[in-house]
């Protein structure tokens, strides 16, 4: 069906036919625009323009292409590639992408929520949604994004886990962790670095009281170091554990020491809380160290300051 409209002092003719690429042309006179649209519609019917019906790929084919062309260049490529692997086990992936509707995605969401946290389900939905955006904007497929029309699961409240003195004593002074793991744990407390950021530290990234975080979650940054952090780096570089090896060792330590509900990422939370309570840093100053793009995120997630932490300031 053709649409004729006035645009920038010209008459624009837009021809849309299901299964064919959109055709657009501008004319000085409206009559020319109408005539052109009728001719294009006739040509499509007769196939005189060699316009073939689009053959839509399956969801599986499209998601694999998205993984190989888009995800591969992301910093989070390993994590997102694993999520793609999980999504590809679903039955609906064998349907053409233009046949996947919101009801299918909503059903997938509900099934996933039975075994996964809402944040995990949202990460999977985000991948599907972006894949559809790329398919529409860059790959030439005229498809609706089914994710946009469903309710997203509500993410849980941010974690506010703090470590007790007894827990930290076990981790840093116990005999279960090897010296390098103890160094990694203490470095996380001193720098608020993420597990992957610590694993990717190279000796050449460290200069005096500054450390370049080259492979960061958001973007590279340079952070100031405490004297203790400098000492730790001086005595323990190079780091010989991968991010996954750190995670596996952490899980074993939690089980051995019977420390409940503690993630390695909670060390970052602990460290940033200390920037406020022990170092008296402002939010912008803490932001330099943490690498958060949004100060609001830093305030909401990390300003977990208990009453006893600030009572001394009240006099």
Can you tell me whether residue 12 is helix, strand or coil?
strand
CA dihedral 120, 126, 132, 136 (to 10 degrees): -170
Task: Tally the residues of the chain.
Answer: 315
Q: How far lies 297's CA from each of 45, 49, 88, in Å? A: 55, 54, 33
Phi, psi for 178 (deg, rounded to 5): -75, 165
Can you tell me whether residue 264 is helix, strand or coil?
coil
How far is it, in rounded angstroms, from Cα 268 to Cα 301? 11
How far is it, in rounded angstroms, from Cα 131 to Cα 60? 11
pLDDT at 195: 92
Do 226 and 190 meet the contact criterion of CB atoms below 8 Å apart? yes
pLDDT at 26: 87
Q: Which alpha helices (H) appear in the chain, and where do they start and end? A: 30-46, 59-69, 77-87, 102-113, 118-137, 165-173, 179-191, 195-199, 227-236, 243-257, 265-277, 283-290, 295-302, 307-314
pLDDT at 88: 94
Per-residue pLDDT tens listing for the chain (315 residues):
688 888 888 888 888 876 666 778 888 888 898 898 888 888 777 654 444 556 889 999 999 999 999 999 887 888 899 999 999 999 889 999 998 999 899 999 999 999 998 989 999 999 999 999 999 999 988 899 999 999 999 887 777 788 999 999 999 998 888 899 999 999 999 999 999 999 999 999 999 899 998 877 777 888 899 999 999 999 998 999 999 999 999 999 999 999 998 999 999 989 988 888 888 888 888 888 888 877 777 776 555 565 556 666 665
Can you tell me whether residue 217 is helix, strand or coil?
coil
Give me the CATH topology for the region 165-314: hpI Integrase; Chain A (1.10.443)
pLDDT at 21: 64
How far is it, in rounded angstroms, from Cα 113 to Cα 189? 33
What is the Cβ-side half-sphere exposure of residue 228, based on CA atoms within 13 angstroms?
9
How far is it, in rounded angstroms, from Cα 191 to Cα 298? 15
- Per-position b or e across 259-296, b if 16+ CB within 10 A of its CB: beebebebbbbbbbbbbbbeeebebeebbebbbbeeee
- Per-position b or e across 9-39, b if 16+ CB within 10 A of its CB: eebebbbebeebeebeeebeeeeebeebbee
Q: Which helix (H) or strand (E) holds 25?
A: strand 23-27
């Amino acid at each position: 069906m053709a649409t004729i409209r006035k645009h920038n002092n010209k008459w624009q003719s837009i021809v849309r036919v299901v299964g064919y690429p959109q055709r657009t042309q501008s004319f000085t006179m409206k009559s020319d625009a109408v005539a052109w649209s009728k001719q294009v519609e006739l040509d499509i019917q007769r196939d005189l323009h060699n316009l073939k019906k689009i053959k839509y790929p399956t969801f599986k084919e499209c998601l694999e292409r998205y993984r190989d062309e888009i995800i591969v260049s992301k910093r989070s490529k390993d994590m997102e590639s694993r999520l793609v692997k999980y999504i590809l086990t679903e039955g609906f992936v064998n349907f053409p992408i233009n046949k996947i509707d919101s009801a299918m995605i909503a059903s997938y969401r509900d099934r996933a929520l039975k075994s996964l946290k809402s944040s995990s389900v949202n990460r999977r939905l985000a991948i599907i949604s972006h894949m559809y955006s790329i398919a529409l904007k860059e790959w030439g497929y005229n498809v609706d994004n089914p994710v946009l029309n469903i309710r997203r699961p509500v993410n849980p409240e941010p974690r506010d886990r703090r470590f007790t003195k007894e827990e930290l004593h076990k981790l840093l002074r116990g005999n279960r962790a090897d010296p390098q793991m103890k160094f990694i744990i203490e470095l996380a407390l001193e720098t608020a670095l993420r597990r992957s950021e610590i694993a990717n530290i190279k000796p050449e990234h460290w200069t005096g009281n500054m450390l370049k975080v080259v492979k960061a979650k958001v973007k590279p940054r340079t952070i100031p170091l405490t004297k203790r952090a400098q000492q730790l780096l001086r005595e323990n570089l190079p780091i010989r554990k991968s991010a996954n090896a750190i995670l596996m060792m952490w899980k074993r330590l939690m089980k051995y020491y019977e420390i409940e509900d503690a993630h390695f990422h909670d060390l970052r939370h602990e460290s940033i809380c200390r920037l406020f309570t022990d170092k008296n840093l402002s939010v912008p100053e803490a932001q330099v160290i943490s690498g958060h793009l949004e100060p609001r995120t830093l305030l909401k997630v990390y300003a977990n300051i208990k009453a006893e932490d600030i009572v001394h300031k009240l006099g």
